[in-house]
Chain A
Amino acid sequence: MGLDAAMPSSFLDVVAAEFYAYTRFYKNNRAMMIAAFIWPYLMVLILLGLGYLFGSLSQYAARMGVRNPVFFIVSASTVAMSSTFIIDEVANYTLYNRWNGTLPYILLTPMRLPKQLLAASIPSTLVSPAISVTSALPVAIYFEGLRGAIIIAALYTVIVLGMVPLAGLSVLIAGLVLTVREETNIANSITPFLLLVSGVFYPVTILPKALQLIAVAVPVKYVVDIARAIASTGTFSHEVFLAVYVLTLMAFAYNSLVAPLLGAIEERVKRYAPF
């Protein structure tokens, strides 16, 4: 009898186990949970605080073309906080297990490494944005009432959709981080780079032309576009549906491009035994 048959663990079993581990982690580290709720507000505090000290809110609203700048900044912060979690959390998952000496056990499980890492990414992809949008909910309801709550729920859906094109990439980076044997995720500057070119707090048009071109291929830009479109008009315009369509196309295209590389990464990780 093969090992797979002796230890029947489907992908869903592993996802369920990762969900359990993820929620227990937060249960046992409540300070982390509180911090996750506070983080979007910290971004808002910095931007509004510095903006207030050095300029004015009306100037920001006029230059950004948004109806309610505070609500927009809260929405944009939510997107910024949660939209790229997938890359960071998957890469840090491998590093954390390496420091704790549990990585060899994970690598020895019957499941292929890319699938294991993908399973590990799903809880954070779903839960992290949920925490961020939940924290933004009171502000949304305060400014926009029931409509605000609906907008925040829609944002959650869009953020999760925006994660799908990044799934393969995050697994690739997690494998890469193991093979280079560094102390931190050497690719975590990808996260702010994606946000930088996506124009999370400013229009992309103020960036150099080269960065504007790169932005077209970045999924997070479309998530930000949707947040801005909703915050500026308060409605779901055709721009929103167009952005959702582009994100769906990107999900298929990017994961198809990355898939052939995942096997090579797994082989490299197991050969160099990065413990």
Chain B
Amino acid sequence: MHHSSRGLAKLLAVIYLHGVRTWRYKYSFINSSINTMLWITIFLLGVIMFVPAKELPVVAPQVFWGITVWNLITYTVIYISGWTTWFLVSMGLVEEHILHGLGLPLLLAGRLVTVLAESAIAVPLVYFVLRGVAGPMRLVENPWLLLYGLVAAEAMAIGYALVLATLALRLSIPGPMLDITNFILFVVGGIAAPVAKLPAQLRVVALLTPYSHAAELVRYAATGTRPYLGLLTETFISGALAVAMPLAAYAFYRFVEKHYLRRYGVRGVGRM
């Protein structure tokens, strides 16, 4: 079979199998979406207690898109690197995939099927909760730019998740640490709120956080909030990071596979 058609066959197989797997574990998957929505609602209702009622219509769309970007990023990291730890390694499936000539990066990137399906349920639910509290909202001004921002955020998240997953093949990655990073970045990393709204010191942290650039684009496309670094600069930075992060992650995986996995194998598993 030609090399490119073999690659396409593998890609289709990965997408198909992740789709089947998501369906097979549909209760876990639906539960996860509801779980996300409930946790977000708890915090939303808490945050609303801080906001004067008359400001809610302005604040609500910004909060909604901040949550949407964060949801995509978080679940990409959990469903790729977390899944590698709790399922792929535990079940001894890493070596099997490598022996069958299916690289883990492709297999793990296929988890995007599950991430998008989860977001397709959780995000509309969050919208309805927010709408119930803040009233009707205008959500999109520039749909193409919005899509560009969301795709860029997703590509960055895949790159980050692949690095963590690769580490998890040799080290015991502490899962909660992933959550901690995501939670901290949500507030101080320019995802939840416009970078311009952050205090000066945190603004530096936000600008150093890759996701903030994509989030700024999404906010601009949705609500017209001008990006802190300007539209053109943020469009370029987001695009560059969206390409560079997955490529760097892939190179890192190949290095670990060649120098560690094929020599010493995948780490041992066990409760302790």
A interface, CB within 8 angstroms of B: 21, 24-25, 28-29, 31-32, 35-36, 38-39, 42, 45-47, 49-57, 59-60, 63-64, 80, 96-97, 99-100, 102, 180, 182-189, 191-193, 195-196, 200-202, 206
Contact = CB atoms under 8 A, between A and B. Distances in A.
Q: Is the interface of B mostly helix, strand, loop or mixed?
A: helix
Contacts of B186: 46
B51 A200 contact: no
Most chain B CB within a 10 A radius of its CB, from A42, A54, A59: A54
16 contacts: A29-B272, A31-B174, A36-B176, A39-B180, A42-B180, A47-B43, A50-B47, A51-B47, A53-B187, A54-B55, A55-B47, A55-B51, A182-B25, A184-B28, A195-B38, A201-B42
Contacts of A185: 28, 31
Interface of B: 25, 27-28, 31-32, 34-35, 38-39, 41-43, 45-52, 55, 59, 62-63, 86-87, 90-91, 172, 174, 176-177, 179-180, 183-184, 186-188, 192-193, 197-198, 269-272
A123 B47 CA distance: 33
Nearest to A76: B46
Contacts of A32: 174, 176
Nearest to A202: B45
B174 A29 contact: yes
B21 to A, nearest CB: 9
A109 B14 CA distance: 40
A57 B50 contact: yes
A39 B90 CA distance: 26
Contacts of B42: 80, 192, 195-196, 200-201
A132 to B, nearest CB: 13
Nearest to B63: A54
| 5 closest A-B pairs by CB | A201-B46, A55-B50, A51-B50, A31-B174, A35-B176
